[in-house]
Amino acid sequence: MTTVEDSKISEAQVEPVESQKPMLNNIDDDPVYSYREQRKIIRRIDARLIVMLGFLHTVSLIDRGNLGTASVAGMEKELKLRGTQYVGLLGIRVIIGALEAGFFPAAVYLISTWYTRYDIQKRYAIFYLLGCVASAFTGILSYGITFMHGLGGLTAWRWIYVIQGLLTCVVAIIGYFVLIDFPDRMKNNKQKFLSEGEYEFIIRRITKDRADVTIEPFNLKKYLSAGLDINIWAFGFIYYSTTTTAYAISYFLPIIYRQGMGFSMGASLCLFAPPYAAAGILMFATSWIGDKYHLRGPILIFNAILTIIGLPLMVSVVSKRKKGI
């Protein structure tokens, strides 16, 4: 006969040999896959989902930044743009922006359906980091394109729009075939990206973390009720404050270099890179700290303080350069 003690010993012996550091709700304890096997599955998702979304985000940022680079490369001079003459051009930019507006929130939501809450910030950072790297090299790429001036009867700034526009189209077509859907849909449609057991593992993991892996039927009343949540408005204000400064830099930094600081065209385009390289390093470092130590608020405050310090410094430098100091 076996005693209760013997039964407990036998149960303990069937546990996985590898010991893991428990996360929220022992998120890494899975009845089928060991910790090492889980990491391999998640890395495959990283390579397919995060990298593809990162490339899509990259070309979307290139499209957003080429107004400034094209202006420095001769568009403003050739079209004789002054003051309010930018209105027609900005109207076109608004249309493009409206067509692009759904990409970023959709990408963020798609990433959230594949990862647990304390795996996700590093993935967001990598996704956005690829965009920062692209933004860093947009100016350098545009500077290289300026040497095509006169080719095919087109001036340099026109070639910037042609080449970067074609790049957007090519990446979009690739994304249509490569990008993956929500995990439950992928499983139900028997997509070959993962095995059925691996899809079940992802669904099991997300369910253990926050129990929202299954998409609920659309309910208009519930959808609109989110507008009554003060937290939604707070996050929206934080995002508004962030993007207002980030996109102002993205759109107009080459123009600020050229007109505000007096740099040459080549220097204005190439100096576009260093701020984004520094931002990429800081972003990944803070995201790693945030996931490891389960921090969110202090990181937001830290980055806000950097912005509050940085923008006045830039304004001060521009003012001094204009005065010849």
pTM value? 0.72
Cβ neighbours around 107 below 10 Å, total: 22
pLDDT at 14: 41
pLDDT class for 19, splitting at 50, 70, 90? very low
pLDDT at 323: 56
pLDDT at 137: 76
- CA atoms lying within 13 Å on the CB side of residue 177: 4
250-294 pLDDT, tens digit per residue, is: 777 887 888 778 888 788 878 877 887 788 788 888 888 888 888
- Measured CA to CA in angstroms, residue 214 lies from 67, 115, 135, 203, 210 at distances of 41, 14, 36, 9, 11
The Cα–Cα gap between 249 and 251 comes to 6
Residues 6+ apart with CB under 8 A from 225: none
First vs last C-alpha separation in the chain:
93
Q: What is the Cα gyration radius of the chain?
A: 25
CA 18 and chain centroid, separation: 34
pLDDT at 6: 46
Identify whether the C-beta of residue 60 lies closer than 8 Å to the C-beta of residue 100: yes
pLDDT class for 13, splitting at 50, 70, 90? very low
128-142 pLDDT, tens digit per residue, is: 888 777 767 777 888
Q: Tell me the percentage of the chain whose pLDDT exceeds 90.
A: 11
- Residue 219's SS3 state is coil
Question: Which of 287, 305, 307, 286 is closest to 243 using CA atoms?
Answer: 307
Across 263-324, the runs of DSSP E, i.e. the strands, are none
- Measured CA to CA in angstroms, residue 277 lies from 57, 230, 289 at distances of 16, 35, 19
Residue 81, pLDDT above cutoff 50? yes
Q: Once rounded to an integer, what is the mean pLDDT over residues 47-56?
A: 91
Q: Once rounded to an integer, what is the mean pLDDT over residues 116-135?
A: 82
Report which secondary-structure segment, H or E, holds 93: helix 87-100
Angle at alpha carbon of residue 228, lines to 227 and 230, rounded to 5°: 100
pLDDT at 8: 40
Residue 10, pLDDT above cutoff 60? no
